[in-house]
Amino acid sequence: MITLHGFAASNYYNLVKHVLLYKELPFQENLVYGGSDELLKVSPVGKVPAITTPEGFSISESSVICDFLEETYPDTPLYPKNAAERAVVRQIMKIAELYFELPSRRLIPYVFSGTNAPDSVKEEVRQVLSRGIIALNHLCQFSPWIAGEQFTMADIYVHYVNTIVSAFASSQLDWDVLAEVSGMKEWNDTMSQSAIAQNVEADRLANMPEFMEHVKSQIRAANAG
């Protein structure tokens, strides 16, 4: 059985979990937080998520895990058969990661500390997000799914990217970022209503108090040092 290592408050963990559930693959969860010695045994840089295969092989980085699951368990495909269409799916995923998710992460420390990010940081994040908005407006179809008629890996990937954008960028910038991509909010609402997404979200909410206490303990330890 596959083991999924990480914690449910992580959007990347939930992304991989959604893929596992969608493909109906049996798996067990191992609760472990980033940077721990335990996680370093299965993730070279101590990042969540990681998986261990039934053969004992460990893999980290969410996009790598997703591709591995797709190649190893192709019966419920999440990529189109056509190479050009697959490239579009991967392009949407990469742009969402680089120009939506990563810039939004810069604002996480300010949200957790209850402070406002400096104007210079906000402006840098805005500029990167604006590039992502232009690109996603060009690439996304939402007819009904993000890349067209077929539900793909990009639907799962971008949905969990958007949790970071909504929670951190939108609040710090006072900007409804998702509304800037035509059709994105309606599609995101549809994604959130699926049984899989609702189960994943319930687990995320259940893990949040413990995760926040873990974050606070890390801050206390850093200040004490």
Residue 130 lies in a domain: yes
User: 60 and 111 share a domain?
Assistant: no
Find the domain containing 25 and state its range. 2-76
CA distance 191 to 199: 12
The CB-side HSE value for 181 (13 A sphere, CA atoms) comes to 29
Domain count, the chain: 2
User: 38 and 137 share a domain?
Assistant: no
CA distances from 57 to 25, 41, 127, 188 (A): 16, 11, 40, 34
Q: Assign 54 a pLDDT band (cuts: 50, 70, 90).
A: very high
**pTM for the model:** 0.93
Q: Kindly give the residue spans of alpha helices, DSSP state H, lying in the chain.
A: 11-22, 37-40, 62-72, 83-96, 102-105, 108-113, 119-139, 153-164, 170-173, 184-192, 195-224
User: 97 and 178 share a domain?
Assistant: yes
CA distance 220 to 225: 9
8, 203 Cβ separation under 8 angstroms: yes
Q: H or E segment at 3? A: strand 2-6
Residues 146-194 pLDDT 10s: 999 999 999 999 999 999 999 999 889 999 999 999 999 999 999 999 9
Return the structure tokens found at 88: 């579009």
Query: Shortest CA distance to 181 belongs to which of 75, 100, 114, 127?
Result: 100
Q: Among 76, 93, 125, give the residue marking a domain's end.
A: 76
Task: Determine the pLDDT at residue 212.
Answer: 87
The CB-side HSE value for 163 (13 A sphere, CA atoms) comes to 20
In the three-class reduction of DSSP (H, G, I as helix; E, B as strand; rest coil), residue 67 is classed as helix
User: 31 and 46 share a domain?
Assistant: yes
Q: Among 76, 100, 127, give the residue marking a domain's end.
A: 76
Q: What CATH number does residue 165 fall under? A: 1.20.1050.10
Is the pLDDT score of 225 beyond 60?
Answer: no
User: Strand 58-60's sheet: what is its strand order?
Assistant: 27-31, 2-6, 50-52, 58-60
Q: Among 76, 95, 112, give the residue marking a domain's end.
A: 76
User: 99 and 166 share a domain?
Assistant: yes
Residues 85-139 pLDDT 10s: 999 999 999 999 999 999 999 999 898 888 999 999 999 999 999 999 999 999 9
In the three-class reduction of DSSP (H, G, I as helix; E, B as strand; rest coil), residue 27 is classed as strand
